[in-house]
Structure 1
Amino acid sequence: MRPRRFTATGPLRGRIRVPGDKSISHRSLMLSSLAVGESRVTGLLEGEDVLSTAAAMRAMGADIERTGPGEWRINGVGVGALLQPAQALDMGNSGTSTRLLMGLVASHPITACFTGDASLSKRPMGRVIAPLSEMGATFTAYPGGRLPLMVQGAAPAVPIAYRLPVASAQVKSAVLLAGLNTPGTTTVIEPVPTRDHSERMLRGFGAELTVEIDGEGARVIRLRGEADLKPQVIDVPGDPSSAAFFAVAALLVPGSDLVIENVGLNPTRAALFDVLRQMGGSIEELDARDVGGEPVADLRVRHSPLTGIAVDPAVVPSMVDEFPVLFVAAALATGRTVTTGLEELRVKESDRISAMRAALELAGATVRETEDGLIIDGTGGDPLRGGANHPVVTHLDHRIAMAMAVAGLASKAGVEVDDTRPIATSFPTFEALLAGAMQAA
Structure 2
Amino acid sequence: MSGHGTPIPMTSTPCGPLTGVADVPGDKSISHRSLILGAMAVGETRITGLLEGEDVIDTAKAMRAFGAEVTDHGGGNWTVNGVGVGGFAEPDNVIDCGNSGTGVRLIMGTMATSPITATFTGDASLNKRPMARVTDPIALFGAQAVGRSGGRLPMTIVGAANPVPVRYVVPMPSAQVKSAVLLAGLNAPGQTVVIEKEATRDHTERMLEGFGAEISVEDTDEGRVITLTGRPELKPQTIAVPRDPSSAAFPVCAALITPGSDVLVPGIGLNPTRAGLFTTLRDMGADLTYENEREEGGEPVADLRARFSPNMKGIDVPPERAASMIDEYPVLSVVAANATGVTMMREVKELRVKESDRIDAMATGLRACGVAVEDGPDWWSVTGHGPGTVTGGAICESHLDHRIAMSFMVLGISTKQPVSVDDGGPIATSFPIFEPLMASLGASVERKAG
Indicate the TM-score class for this superposition, using the shorter chain for normalisation. Answer: over 0.9
Determine the structure 2 residue equivalent to 1:397.
Answer: 401
- Aligned pairs for 1:9-408 (under 5 A) are 9-216=15-222, 218-305=223-310, 306-388=312-394, 391-408=395-412
Q: C-alpha deviations, 1:17-74, integer Å up to 9, x for none?
A: 1000000000000001111111110000000000110000000000011101111011
Q: Which moved more, 1:366-375 or 1:355-364?
A: 366-375
Q: Deviations over 1:370-403 (max 9, x none)?
A: 2212211102223311123xx1011011000000
Given residue 302 of structure 2, which amino acid in structure 1 is its aligned partner?
A
Q: CA deviation at 1:155?
A: 2.2
Q: Which whole-Å CA distance do the structure 2 matches of 1:373 and 1:431 have between them?
A: 31
The one-letter code of the counterpart of 1:319 is: M
Aligned residues: 437
Do 1:367 and 1:376's aligned partners in 2 also have CA atoms closer than 8 Å? yes
1:421 and 2:415 correspond? no
Distance, in Å, in 1 between the alignment partners of 2:170 and 2:22 is 38
Q: Is the 8 A contact 1:365 1:379 kept in 2?
A: no
1:410 and 2:411 matched:
no
The alpha carbon displacement at 1:336 in A equals: 1.0
For residues 299-334 of structure 1, give each alpha carbon's deviation from its aligned partner in whole angstroms, at most 9, with x where no partner exists. Answer: 011101210001111100000000000000001111
Return the alpha-carbon distance in structure 1 between the equivalents of residues 36 and 412 of structure 2.
37
What one-letter code is carried by the residue in structure 2 that aligns with 1:236? V
SS at match of 1:378: strand
DSSP-derived class of the 2:193 partner: strand
- Report the more deviating stretch, 250-259 or 360-369: 360-369
Answer whether contact 2:15 2:414 (CA < 8 A) is retained: no
Structure-2-length-normalised TM-score? 0.96
Of residues 2-11 and 145-154 in structure 1, the stretch that sits farther from structure 2 once superposed is 2-11
Residue type of the partner of 1:137?
Answer: A
**Larger relative contact order (Cα-Cα within 8 Å, sequence gap ≥ 6):** 2
- The CA distance in 2 between the partners of 1:151 and 1:285, in whole Å, is 44
Q: TM-score, structure 1 length as denominator?
A: 0.98
Query: Following TM superposition, by how much is the alpha carbon of 1:13 offset from its aligned partner in structure 2, in angstroms?
Result: 0.8
- Paired residues of 2:413 and 2:443 also in contact (CA < 8 A): no
Q: CA deviation at 1:423?
A: 0.2
Letter paired with 1:232: Q
Contact 2:190-2:229 at 8 Å conserved across structures = yes
1:12 to partner: Cα distance: 1.1
Q: Give the letter aligned to residue 186 of structure 2.
A: L
Cα distance in 2, alignment partners of residues 258 and 341 from structure 1: 31
Find the counterpart in structure 1 of residue 448 from structure 2: none
Separation in structure 1 between the aligned mates of residue 160 and residue 443 of structure 2, nearest angstrom? 55
Question: Is contact 1:257–1:302 with CA below 8 Å preserved after alignment?
Answer: yes
Aligned pair in 2 of structure 1 residues 84, 283: CA closer, same or farther (>3 Å)? same
- Listed one character per residue, the Cα deviations across residues 107-138 of structure 1 (whole Å, up to 9, x for unaligned) are 01110000111100000001111110011001
Kept in 2, the 8 Å contact 1:156–1:183? The answer is no
Separation in structure 2 between the aligned mates of residue 344 and residue 370 of structure 1, nearest angstrom: 13
CA distance in 2 between counterparts of 1:274 and 1:91 reads: 32
Q: Deviations over 1:218-257 (max 9, x none)?
A: 1100000011100000000000000001111000000000
1:432 to 422, 430, 436: 436
Counterpart residue type for residue 175 of structure 1:
V
Partners of 1:86 and 1:316 lie apart in 2 by: 40
How much does 1:175 deviate?
A: 0.4
Letter in structure 2 aligned against 1:363: C
Which residue matches 2:3?
none
Structure 1 position 2, deviation (Å)? 1.0
Q: Mark the runs of 5 or more structure 1 residues left unpaired by the alignment.
A: none
**CA–CA distance in 2 between the matches of 1:215 and 1:87?**
45
RMSD: 1.0
- Return the letter of the residue paired with 2:21: R
Shift of residue 439 of structure 1?
7.2
SS in 1 for 2:225: strand
Runs of 4+ in 1 over 6 A off after TM superposition: none
Residue segments in structure 2 that go unaligned for 5+ positions in a row: 1-6, 445-450
d(CA) in 1 for partners of 2:390, 2:435:
21
SS of the residue aligned with 1:17?
A: coil
User: Is 2:22–2:251's contact at 8 Å kept on the other side of the alignment?
Assistant: no
AA aligned to 1:254 is P
